[in-house]
Amino acid sequence: MKTSKYIGLVIDFTLGCLLLLLSCNTNTTKIFKINIASSVSHSRLPAQAVQIDSALHYQYFGGEFSEHKGYYYGKYDIKGWKEIVKAFNKVNWDKLQNARSENFEDWPIEIIIHTSEGKKHIRTYYEHLPLELKKISKQLLESPKQVKLVKSPVKLDFETKYQDLNSGQPKFPPAIK
């Protein structure tokens, strides 16, 4: 009788530990590079692009209505990178869909995230982003204030295209799967 009670306790304990391990976040997706761009809006919000990678290489483009016009580069700080990656991992960004808007005041946003599992390309509007992703996007688009910018003598390449649009309402291509 004591043996069967002991075996039952061991089984219960083992199952409990297994359930605990399975319920833990096992997200092992590693983010290597983040690109974000915005197009101008009728509200005079700026056209700009930011690209940061895990080696802390930072690129910035400031277009119409931006504080820093032109191409810049710099070094992003490790603490900031870790905060952004942590925040992105809290958001279900991989489930986000492209969005359209009829509101000409909306701010067009393009986000490209490179991970160990591939690439996610999101084209949406700032108002359609979940609150946490709005905070991250705003932090990234305001990041030139935190980086020691160096004016680039040459045009820098960006994967994003929204910064190059001169209309407040970009035409959306088909969704990228």
- End-to-end Cα spacing for the chain: 59
The pair of structure tokens assigned to 65 is: 């209505």
- The pLDDT of residue 24 is above 90: no
- Structure confidence by residue, pLDDT tens digits, 68-112: 999 999 999 999 999 989 888 887 766 766 655 555 456 788 889
- Per-residue confidence (pLDDT) for residue 59, from 0 to 100: 96
CA–CA separation, 94 and 101 (whole Å): 21
Q: What is the CATH number of the domain that holds 119?
A: 3.30.1560
Residue 7 lies in a domain: no
Residue 52 lies in a domain: yes
Residue 107 lies in a domain: yes
Give the strands of the sheet with 31-38, arranged side by side: 118-125, 108-115, 31-38, 48-53, 57-62, 70-75, 150-151
pTM: 0.73
- Per-residue confidence (pLDDT) for residue 173, from 0 to 100: 44
AA letter at 65: F
AA letter at 51: Q
Give pairs for 77-84: CB < 8 Å, separation 24+. Answer: 77/146, 80/143, 80/146, 81/52, 81/54, 81/56, 84/34, 84/52, 84/136, 84/139, 84/140
Residue owning tokens 């979940």: 130
Residue 171 lies in a domain: no
Counting the structural domains of the chain, the total is: 1
- Structure confidence by residue, pLDDT tens digits, 49-67: 999 999 999 999 999 888 9
Domain that holds residue 144: 31-164
Residue 173 lies in a domain: no
Residue 12 lies in a domain: no
Average pLDDT, the chain: 77
AA letter at 167: S
Residue 82 lies in a domain: yes
Residue 93 lies in a domain: yes
